């Protein structure tokens, strides 16, 4: 086995299409034997055709560099002889191997008939915690030297070291895991399975004791659970270190003193240490980069011990839960004499159900993709303490297979199961009992605040990134009634009952008159439901859609807010009739079901009735949905959604809660002793009521503090406004607008070689501008990465961070909540002031219900978003950057002054044409060097 020689190959080509026209421009090869690189070979290749600019930008290989290089025909014999008796290995073997064989045949040589192995697939199985499976992701994760990505010789050596790491990791796996991997690996590319078989063979030939951290339970290897610490060590009375000297003494070189963070710590401790006559709510606006997470964890660790209370920390996402956990364990516990216990609280579906997983890989026929995911999970189980899918979810295919192995909570736990003691969700719940800090997410808190807060000593609550909480509460309380889907369900039932000419239930029971009687009554109710749905949709269309149809964007879905009294009237009439007819279908269905239970049914009738039962169960869901959509009318806002054609038949009804403040005061606040609301961007100017209203809070009952970042903004941030003749309004021609933006962006980024983010208000405009720039000189010289075009948000952020001189087009979520470390972002271009569209549902609602929707909602919302967008640039005290605004309304409109006021202290808005702005931008960056 050790005699196997692996040839790890990487090719750089003039293009990636197998169209016969692309050629090799560089070949790199590293040979591996006995776990070591024993030889290398590389050569640039003259492709005898121009190298596309995009390939040069990617690889750094120019026409001049290959002009005097050998043609492939000149080196083909050497390449063939070096590879012919090896195992071919590549990172994406289905690209390199066929391409090389194509070149061999073109040069008069036979295809290589040798085993071929793929390191992408093997990495997906073996490395659970890496951020991605590009070669640069893996080499970074494994700390493999990889100085020149997209150079064939560097990539080949890096891939060879990756292969060595893969084989080493496989040899450390238990035999039981390797056996399962071999069973599941039949669909791996080419002969990749041989690597797993070799590892299994070697382990059986040289059996080792299973790692002390592992155990085997019912045929699967698991990491042993970490023993819970069920009681604290006895603490003497701890004195909170208020001063800088005391904190530095406690840090003992483990952490660095940060003045702003220390101020946040002290203010938090002061507010939460008051036990009588205190204000229940503390609101802190603390800038990103201030260390606010440790800023509240540190003082609350003292308060928690002193008051014998747990602390519940809520953040917007499950990923942020893990980040808070890391700060708690790695930073807070590193400086405390007695560490705090932390527990993550998530919904059960975030966890793997071990029993369901083992049943699925043992008894089910799995697809190719599902088998790969199962193999990844088998290896992950030897490493994970939590069984939390978030550890691997950024590169796992969330297919039906994964949905089938998610945990469904306590009700599915079987005490007799061999996995009961090791069940991940059960273990997670057990940790809560002994935790000092419970870290959850906003959605889970909103759904389970009473359960989490249930305690003799009410917990303390921290809502971090509190500005996101109201939106999450609104979204999770949204309900929809899909009228078209209800009509489709009734059509399916009518077809099965009477309409299907080849086979229907009334024909099958024609000799059973009682059955026919109930079937006809059943069908009659279904047809009445269809009639009522059509009338509801037409009524809503005539009243709300027809009058404003000319204002709707063509071929795009639309939302239109409707008045509650319309729903109220429909609840009393049209919806009431639909509910009555649905109830009638239940009566007739039950009568038929009882009838058929007493009959000897043919297999055909039995099958038909089983399908009708499935359809009928869906009607029960619609019955509940109608009751739900019409409940608590005065506490909700309502709207209708339309399909791209804006036709009556596409109408469905939605609702969400009207007052998130009322929800918070009733469903969250009562269960907690004291609450900290903290975030980076909560207020605009000194106006705090917009934020407080969303929590139903008032200034007299709330302690509020805004901390300013310790940054010399005057010298670290330059803000420019492009003076142009193009004025943005909602009547602007979209093509002219896209032309204006494309020209401005190209001019502003030409020769300004800085990592650049361009913020848009809509994905449609983003796409229009990208399409104009895609074939331009700008895209030839710099990589443009665009949201909605180049993959998921996480993927394009990762790729942008990997680049040195890229331009990222982003909209919506890129205005906030995206962190680019250090010099990963230096240049920001804002295409438009971030006002919501007039057709936005919340804008419509504000117009209908508030005297001045612009001043009460539209403008405050835009000011906060603008403040967050500018905040992308300066995240830490040593960051510098330039922001350019392309929307001249910031200068020409009265409200523009309010946007300028959101700029940090010391930063002015500089106005100029393209050349003037460009000159100041270059001067600013030159002065920073």
Judge whether residue 687 has pLDDT over 90.
no
Structural contact between residues 376 and 184, judged by C-beta atoms closer than 8 angstroms: no
N residues, the chain = 929
Phi, psi of 702 (to 5 degrees): -130, 135
Q: What is the mean pLDDT of residues 29-57?
A: 90
Percentage of the chain exceeding pLDDT 90: 59
pLDDT per position as a tens digit, 532-568: 999 999 999 999 999 988 878 778 889 999 988 889 9
User: Which of these, 24, 31, 97, lies nearest to 61 by C-alpha position?
Assistant: 24
Judge whether residue 357 has pLDDT over 90.
yes
CA dist., res. 500 & res. 199, Å (int): 58
Judge whether residue 685 has pLDDT over 80.
no
Q: What is the mean pLDDT of residues 655-666?
A: 91
User: Which of these, 187, 199, 181, 227, lies nearest to 380 by C-alpha position?
Assistant: 181
For 105, the enclosing helix (H) or strand (E) is helix 93-106
Output the known binding site for ATP.
286-293
Region of poorest pLDDT, from 368-372, 374-378, 380-384, 709-713: 709-713
pLDDT per position as a tens digit, 453-484: 887 789 999 999 999 999 999 999 899 999 99
Judge whether residue 366 has pLDDT over 70.
yes
pLDDT per position as a tens digit, 775-813: 788 877 788 999 989 888 888 888 898 888 899 999 988
What does each C-alpha distance from 175 to 147, 179, 206, 210 come to in angstroms? 36, 6, 11, 9
CA dist., res. 879 & res. 875, Å (int): 7
CA dist., res. 517 & res. 514, Å (int): 5
Structural contact between residues 154 and 111, judged by C-beta atoms closer than 8 angstroms: no
Phi, psi of 882 (to 5 degrees): -125, 135
DSSP helix, strand, coil percent of the chain (3-state; round to 5): 50, 15, 35
Percentage of the chain exceeding pLDDT 70: 97
**Residue 233 pLDDT grade (very low, low, confident, very high; cuts 50, 70, 90):** low
Is 394 designated active site? no
What does each C-alpha distance from 844 to 493, 632, 716 come to in angstroms? 38, 21, 39
In the set 91, 146, 150, 673, the catalytic residue is 150
User: Which of these, 141, 147, 150, 191, lies nearest to 169 by C-alpha position?
Assistant: 141
What's the pLDDT score for residue 851? 67
DSSP secondary structure, 813-850, as one string: GGGSS----GGG--EEEE-S--PPPTTSHHHHHHHHH-
pLDDT per position as a tens digit, 9-36: 999 998 877 777 889 999 999 999 999 9
What's the pLDDT score for residue 512? 82
CA dist., res. 710 & res. 824, Å (int): 21
**For residue 123, with 0-12 CB atoms within 10 Å meaning exposed, 13-18 middle and 19 or more buried, which class applies?**
buried
436: helix, strand or coil: coil
CATH architecture of the domain 717-927 equals 3-Layer(aba) Sandwich (3.40)
Q: What is the mean pLDDT of residues 726-730?
A: 70
**Residue 354 pLDDT grade (very low, low, confident, very high; cuts 50, 70, 90):** very high
Judge whether residue 395 has pLDDT over 70.
no
The residue behind tokens 């390191």 is 119
Judge whether residue 673 has pLDDT over 60.
yes
Judge whether residue 398 has pLDDT over 70.
no
Structural contact between residues 646 and 547, judged by C-beta atoms closer than 8 angstroms: no
The alpha carbon of residue 383 and the mean position of all alpha carbons in its chain are separated, in whole angstroms, by 23
Domain boundaries, the chain: 5-208, 506-657, 717-927
pLDDT per position as a tens digit, 136-170: 889 989 999 877 777 788 899 999 999 999 999 99
What's the pLDDT score for residue 96? 92
Q: In the CATH hierarchy, which top-level class contains the domain 5-208?
A: alpha beta
791: helix, strand or coil: coil
pLDDT per position as a tens digit, 162-207: 999 999 999 999 999 999 999 999 999 999 999 999 999 999 998 8
The residue behind tokens 């199961």 is 417
Judge whether residue 84 has pLDDT over 60.
yes
Structural contact between residues 90 and 71, judged by C-beta atoms closer than 8 angstroms: no
What's the pLDDT score for residue 277? 76
Judge whether residue 308 has pLDDT over 70.
yes
CA dist., res. 7 & res. 157, Å (int): 10
What's the pLDDT score for residue 397? 58
CA dist., res. 740 & res. 724, Å (int): 9
């Amino acid at each position: 086995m050790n005699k196997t020689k692996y040839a790890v190959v990487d090719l750089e080509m003039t293009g990636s299409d197998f169209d016969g026209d692309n050629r090799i421009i560089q070949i790199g090869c590293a040979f591996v034997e006995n776990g070591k690189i024993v030889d290398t070979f590389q050569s640039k290749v003259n492709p005898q055709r121009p190298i596309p600019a995009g390939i040069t930008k990617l690889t750094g290989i120019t026409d001049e560099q290959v002009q005097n290089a050998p043609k492939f025909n000149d080196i083909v014999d050497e390449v063939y002889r070096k590879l012919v008796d090896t195992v071919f290995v590549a990172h994406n073997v289905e690209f390199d191997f066929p391409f090389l064989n194509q070149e061999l045949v073109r040069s008069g040589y036979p295809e290589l008939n040798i085993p071929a192995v793929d390191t992408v697939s093997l990495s997906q199985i073996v490395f659970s915690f890496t951020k991605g499976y590009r070669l640069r992701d893996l080499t970074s994760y494994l700390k493999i030297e990889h100085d020149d990505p997209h150079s064939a010789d560097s990539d080949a050596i890096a891939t060879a070291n990756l292969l060595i790491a893969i084989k080493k990791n496989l040899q450390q796996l238990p035999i039981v895991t390797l056996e399962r991997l071999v069973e599941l690996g039949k669909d791996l590319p080419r002969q990749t399975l041989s690597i797993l078989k070799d590892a299994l063979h070697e382990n059986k030939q040289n059996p080792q004791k299973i790692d002390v951290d592992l155990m085997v339970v019912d045929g699967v290897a698991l990491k042993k659970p970490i023993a819970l610490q069920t009681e604290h060590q006895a603490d003497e009375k701890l004195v909170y270190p208020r001063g800088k000297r005391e904190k530095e003494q406690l840090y003992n070189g483990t952490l660095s003193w940060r003045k702003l963070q220390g101020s946040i710590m002290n203010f938090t401790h002061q507010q939460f240490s008051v036990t009588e006559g205190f204000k229940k709510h503390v609101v802190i606006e603390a800038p990103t980069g201030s260390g606010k997470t440790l800023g509240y964890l540190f003082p609350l660790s003292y308060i928690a011990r002193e008051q014998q209370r747990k602390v519940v920390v809520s953040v917007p996402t499950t990923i942020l839960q893990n980040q808070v956990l890391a700060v708690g364990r790695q930073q807070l516990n590193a400086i405390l004499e007695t560490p705090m216990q932390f527990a993550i609280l998530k919904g059960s579906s975030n966890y793997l159900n071990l029993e369901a997983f083992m049943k699925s890989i043992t008894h089910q026929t799995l697809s190719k993709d599902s088998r790969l995911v199962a193999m990844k999970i088998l290896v992950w189980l030897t490493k994970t303490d939590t069984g939390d899918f978030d550890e691997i979810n950024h590169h796992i295919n969330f297919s039906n297979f994964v949905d089938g192995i998610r945990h469904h909570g306590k009700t599915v736990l079987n005490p007799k199961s061999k996995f009961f003691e090791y069940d991940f969700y059960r273990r997670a719940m057990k940790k809560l009992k002994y935790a000092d800090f419970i870290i959850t997410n906003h959605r889970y808190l909103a759904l389970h605040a009473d359960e989490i807060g249930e305690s003799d000593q009410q917990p303390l609550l921290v809502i971090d990134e509190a500005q996101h909480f109201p939106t999450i509460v609104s979204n999770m309380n949204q309900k929809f009634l899909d009228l078209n889907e209800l009509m489709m369900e009734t059509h399916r039932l009518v077809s099965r009952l009477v309409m299907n000419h080849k086979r229907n239930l009334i024909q099958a029971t024609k000799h059973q008159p009682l059955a026919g009687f109930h079937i006809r009554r059943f069908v009659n109710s279904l047809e009445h439901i269809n009639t009522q749905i059509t009338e509801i949709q037409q009524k809503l269309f005539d009243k709300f859609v027809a009058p404003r149809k000319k204002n709707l964007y063509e071929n795009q879905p639309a939302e239109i807010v409707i008045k509650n009294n319309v729903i109220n009237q429909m609840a009393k009439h049209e919806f009431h009739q639909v509910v009555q007819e649905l109830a009638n279908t239940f009566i007739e269905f039950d009568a038929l079901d009882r009838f058929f239970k007493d009959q000897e049914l043919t297999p055909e009738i039995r099958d038909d009735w089983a399908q009708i039962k499935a359809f009928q169960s869906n009607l029960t869901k619609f019955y509940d949905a109608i009751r739900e959509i019409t409940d608590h009318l005065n506490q909700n806002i309502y709207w209708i959604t339309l399909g791209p054609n804006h036709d009556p038949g596409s109408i469905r009804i939605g609702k969400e809660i009207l007052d998130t403040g009322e929800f918070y005061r009733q469903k969250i606040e009562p269960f907690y002793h004291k609450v900290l609301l903290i975030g980076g961007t909560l207020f605009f100017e000194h106006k705090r009521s917009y934020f407080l209203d969303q929590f139903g809070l008032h200034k007299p009952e709330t302690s509020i503090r805004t901390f300013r970042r310790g940054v010399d903004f005057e010298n670290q941030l330059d803000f420019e406004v492009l003076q142009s003749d193009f004025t943005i309004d909602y009547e602007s021609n979209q093509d002219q607008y896209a032309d204006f933006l494309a020209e401005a962006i190209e001019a502003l980024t030409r020769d300004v070689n800085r990592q650049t983010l361009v913020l848009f208000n809509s994905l449609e405009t983003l796409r229009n501008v990208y399409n104009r720039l895609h074939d331009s000189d700008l895209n030839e010289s710099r990589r443009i990465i665009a949201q909605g075009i180049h993959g998921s948000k996480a993927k394009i952020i990762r790729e942008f961070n990997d680049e040195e001189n890229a331009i990222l087009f982003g909209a919506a979520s890129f205005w906030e909540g995206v962190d680019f470390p250090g010099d990963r972002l230096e240049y920001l271009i804002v295409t438009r002031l971030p006002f919501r569209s007039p057709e936005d549902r919340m804008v419509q609602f504000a117009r209908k219900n508030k005297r001045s929707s612009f001043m009460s909602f539209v403008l405050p919302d835009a000011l906060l978003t603008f403040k967050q967008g500018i905040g992308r640039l300066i995240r830490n005290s040593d960051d510098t950057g330039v922001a350019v605004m392309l929307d001249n309304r910031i200068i020409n409109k009265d409200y523009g002054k309010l946007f300028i006021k959101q700029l940090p202290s010391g930063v002015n808005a500089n106005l100029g044409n393209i050349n003037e702005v460009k000159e100041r931008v270059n001067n600013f960056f030159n002065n920073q060097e």
